[in-house]
C-alpha cells in the first residue's frame, strides 16, 4: 500500500481542515469517552478531568456542527435531560485514534 501524503500545508487541503478540527483540545478525548455509547454531559465531565462545563458545551456543539456527534433531548423543560452520542461519521474515527494510541504505547520508551 502506497502512503498518500496530501499537501497539508495548503489551507484548502481537506486533510488539513480535518486535522484542524480534530486538534481542538477536547475533541479526541470526547470521541474516546463517547465510544462507550450515549452519555449525558455530567458523566462526560466526570470522565474527562479538567474540562469545564463551558468548554464541554462549546466542544460538543462544534462536534455536532461537524457531524461527529448527535444530541438527543429527552426532556425539553428545564432542567433538560440531554445525551450525546457519536454519529456514524464520529464512529469512523475510532480505528484511526486506536492506531495513534497503539503507536504511542509502542513508542513510549523512545519519547523519554
- For the full predicted model, state whether its pTM sits above 0.85: no
> How sure is the predictor about 19, in pLDDT bands with cuts at 50, 70 and 90?
confident
Instruction: Tell me what pLDDT residue 112 has.
Output: 58
Burial 8-42 (b: 16+ CB within 10 A, else e): eeeeeeeeeeeeeebeeebbebbbbbbeeeebebe
Residues 25-61: pLDDT tens digits? 899 999 999 999 999 999 999 999 999 999 999 999 9
Amino acid at each position: 500500500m502506497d502512503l498518500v501524503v496530501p499537501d497539508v500545508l495548503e489551507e484548502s487541503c481537506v486533510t488539513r481542515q480535518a486535522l484542524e478540527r480534530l486538534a481542538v483540545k477536547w475533541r479526541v478525548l470526547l470521541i474516546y469517552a463517547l465510544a462507550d455509547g450515549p452519555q449525558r454531559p455530567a458523566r462526560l465531565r466526570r470522565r474527562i478531568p479538567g474540562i469545564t462545563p463551558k468548554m464541554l458545551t462549546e466542544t460538543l456543539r462544534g462536534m455536532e456542527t461537524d457531524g461527529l456527534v448527535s444530541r438527543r433531548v429527552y426532556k425539553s423543560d428545564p432542567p433538560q435531560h440531554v445525551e450525546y452520542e457519536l454519529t456514524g461519521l464520529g464512529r469512523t474515527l475510532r480505528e484511526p485514534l486506536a492506531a495513534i494510541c497503539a503507536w504511542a504505547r509502542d513508542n513510549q520508551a523512545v519519547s523519554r
